[in-house]
Amino acid sequence: MVRRIVWSKDAVNSKREILTYWIDRNKSNSYSKKLNSLISNAIAIIQKFPNSGKATDIENIRVKAVKNYLIIYEITENSIVILIIWDMRRDPNSLIEYLKKNKEP
């Protein structure tokens, strides 16, 4: 069964911030376009194969790596909720805290 993709507000905001950062840093949108395409392709794979991401200690939460970013998502009965796109260079403890507080979109 193919589940629908649902983006949380945090996921939309984090993706926008990441892509904007690279546009500002590089003074070009070419890398952001490539990164956005990689993220979209990873999410298409997640949609077809929800268990393809690495399992976490939190039930139904999985992680898929794309470059230096983690797509954190939750598998529900009818959908896949993209919770956040996380920069792996950030403090991992803050990610754990985030997930415990914000499991629902």
| b/e code 15-27 from CB counts within 10 Å (16+ = b) | beebbeebeeeee
Task: Give the pLDDT confidence score for residue 105 in this predicted structure.
Answer: 44
Percent of the chain with pLDDT over 90: 78
Tens of pLDDT, residue by residue over 28-69, are 999 999 999 999 999 999 999 999 999 988 889 999 999 999
Which pTM does this prediction carry? 0.89
Task: Give the pLDDT confidence score for residue 51 in this predicted structure.
Answer: 95
Tens of pLDDT, residue by residue over 18-27, are 999 999 999 9
Task: Give the pLDDT confidence score for residue 103 in this predicted structure.
Answer: 61
Amino acid code (one letter) for 22: W
Helix (H, G, I), strand (E, B) or coil at 64: strand
- CATH of residue 77: 3.30.2310.20
Structural domain of residue 51, as residue ranges?
Answer: 4-101
Which helix (H) or strand (E) covers residue 44, if one does? helix 30-48
Please answer whether residues 3 and 81 qualify as being in contact, where contact means their C-beta atoms are separated by less than 8 angstroms. no
Domain count, the chain: 1
